[in-house]
Amino acid sequence: MPSTSSAVSDSSRSVPPCLWRDRDFRRLWVGQTASQLGEHTTLIVLPLFAVLTLNADAGELGVLRAVGQAPLLLLSLFVGAWVDGWRIRTVLVVADAVRTLMLCAAAVAGLLGWLGLPALLLVAFAVGALSVFFDVAYQASLVRLVQRDQLVRGNSALEGSRSAAQIGGPALGGALVSLLSAPIAAASSAVFFALSFLSVRRIRRTESLPERSERHPRVWRRIHEGLRFVVSDTSLRTVCLASAAFQFSFAAMMTVYLLFLPRELHLSGTTVGLALAAVGPGALLGSLLAARLPRRFGYGAVLVSAAALGDGVFVCVPALHGSSAVTVSVLLAINFVFGAGGQLVNVTVMAVRQAVTPDGMQGRAAATITFVGMGMAPLGSLLGGLLAMEWGLRTSLLVTAAGMMLSPAVMTLSPLARLGRGLPER
């Protein structure tokens, strides 16, 4: 995919709906949708299989989630440095292909009776590593397809597809683990990655790469450039800190949450999947609102209020008891609000990041923020498991949910909260 000046067709330069006339943008959107659906299915399949089939305890579940998230900490900076010098299409296609093969191998291992906790750890790490490559690459790809004034709408479309994945992925994963088997659940995720592979490989736009001397500076130098750029920019530095606070607390909370729902509230795997799937419709609403609200109320106001509402709603979960229809309905509402608020934050933050970052730095900026933010997730998952063993599920859930409010607090105290109705300049 070439630079913006050569990448965007005349038809896609006019009005926002013309984004959909660009075949390559549609192929990226379809591929990203399928990939995210596979990823969200896998994220619920592996923990539920461990809890419901292998009877994993809180510590083992924390380790499983930490292993799956470890590539965010170990690989993000390197991936960002590499992606800026590679063809984006190649990165996306290879990540999809290898994830398909890994999950097919897991399905075969499961059918042969070999899919125990060690195999789940291996699969979780491999899928997590390849997801880092895919996610960093697709975030860097959008600026090569659309113009600056279409970034919010382009991100809204891509994040909307992620919302669709959040609707279908958890429900499908929970139902397959409960009703069929872990191998079939793993195979279903492989199908989605295969569909993404077929769509992304049809992108025809030729990418212009830098000269060899520019493509291959030392990787540590490229990483240092990305880190220095993010640290020197006030908006990106705040995004890093807020993301780190959120991801650490959210990972800890989710480890406890995935135990709390089946063991404290006695919900089935299918019901757990449906409750988690409510994040999807909320995120879909959030992605639609993200195309309008920042320009009306200001980017800073939307960021702080959406983060406070979306994160704070989980404090209500520890008050729930039993598996009645009222309990399930409240869970659906909580996850819906969390999805809407979280998606508003995601789309708005991504637009701000892309607006202040030069094209040649997009991959490294995305990877640096992923490293600082998502890199805290493995530590949070381990902490969640430890707290659940020491303090019990209900108390641990309240503490970790309250910790999620650190993220909007960081944004409130920063210049990011004072952003107006226009995107900041580079």
Q: What is the DSSP string of 140-179?
A: HHGGGTS-GGGHHHHHHHHHHHHHHHHHHHHHHHHHHHHH
Dihedral sign for Cα atoms in the order 10, 11, 12, 14: positive
SS3 27: helix
Alpha-carbon separation of residue 346 from 18, 46, 154 (angstroms): 23, 25, 13
Confidence of residue 213 (pLDDT cuts 50, 70, 90): very low
Model confidence at 370: pLDDT above 90: no
pLDDT at 208: 55
Residue 163 has pLDDT above 70, yes or no: no
SS (H, E, C) 331-357: HHHHHHHHHHHHHHHHHHHHHHHHHHC
Q: Which residues contact 120 (CB under 8 A, 6 or more apart)?
A: 46, 49, 50, 54, 64
Q: Average pLDDT of 8-26?
A: 52
* Tens of pLDDT, residues 66-97: 888 788 778 877 777 777 667 778 888 999 99
Per cent of the chain over pLDDT 70 is: 80
The answer on pLDDT for 216 being more than 60 is no
Tell me the mean pLDDT in the region 94-117.
84
CA dist 281 and 335 (Å) reads: 9
Residue 5 pLDDT > 60, yes or no? no
Pull the structure tokens for residue 197. Answer: 């592979």
DSSP category for residue 424: P
For all residues of the chain together, what is the average pLDDT?
A: 79
Residue 64 scores a pLDDT above 60: yes
| 420: region left, alpha or beta (phi > 0 left; psi from -120 to 50 alpha) | beta
Greatest mean pLDDT range, 131-140, 207-216, 251-260: 251-260
Q: Are 153 and 351 in contact (CB under 8 A)?
A: no
What was the pLDDT predicted at 419?
80
What are the tens digits of pLDDT across the range 241-278? 888 899 899 989 988 998 898 888 988 777 887 787 78
pLDDT band at 424 (very low <50, low <70, confident <90, very high): low
Using the predicted structure, report yes or no on whether residue 294 has a pLDDT greater than 50: yes
Question: How would residue 378 be classed by pLDDT, with cut points 50, 70 and 90?
Answer: confident
Give the pLDDT confidence score for residue 333 in this predicted structure.
93
From the list 91, 79, 359, 94, the residue with the least C-alpha distance to 219 is: 79
Rounded distance between C-alpha atoms, residue 269 and residue 263, angstroms: 11
Residue 54 sits at φ, ψ, to 5 deg, of -95, 0
pLDDT score, position 8: 34
Residue 367 has pLDDT above 60, yes or no: yes
- Residue of 305, 309, 286 lying closest to 297 (CA atoms): 305
Burial 372-405 (b: 16+ CB within 10 A, else e): bbbbbbbbbbbbbbbbbeeeebbebbbbbbbbbb
Q: Which of 225, 208, 339, 348 minimizes the C-alpha distance to 283?
A: 339
For residue 166, pLDDT over 80 is answered with no
For residue 182, give Cα distances in angstroms to 52, 266, 351.
10, 21, 38
For the chain, the first-to-last Cα distance in angstroms comes to 22
Burial of 260 (0-12, 13-18, 19+ CB in 10 A): buried
pLDDT at 148 over 70: no
Q: What percent of the chain has pLDDT over 90?
A: 14
The answer to whether the pTM exceeds 0.95 is no
DSSP category for residue 50: I
**Residue 213's closest CA among 359, 91, 85, 90?**
85
Neighbouring residues of 384: CB distance < 8 A, sequence distance ≥ 6: 58, 62, 65, 251, 252, 253, 254, 255, 256, 396, 400
Contact 365, 239 (CB under 8 A): no
- For residue 15, give the 3-state DSSP assignment: coil
The whole-number pLDDT of residue 37 equals 85
3-state secondary structure of 117: helix
Predicted local distance difference test score (pLDDT) of residue 143: 64
Residue 12: per-residue pLDDT: 33
Burial class (CB in 10 A: 0-12, 13-18, 19+), 284: buried
Matching residue, tokens 């038809």: 11
11 pLDDT band, cuts 50/70/90, is very low
Predicted confidence band at 193 (pLDDT cuts at 50, 70, 90)?
very high
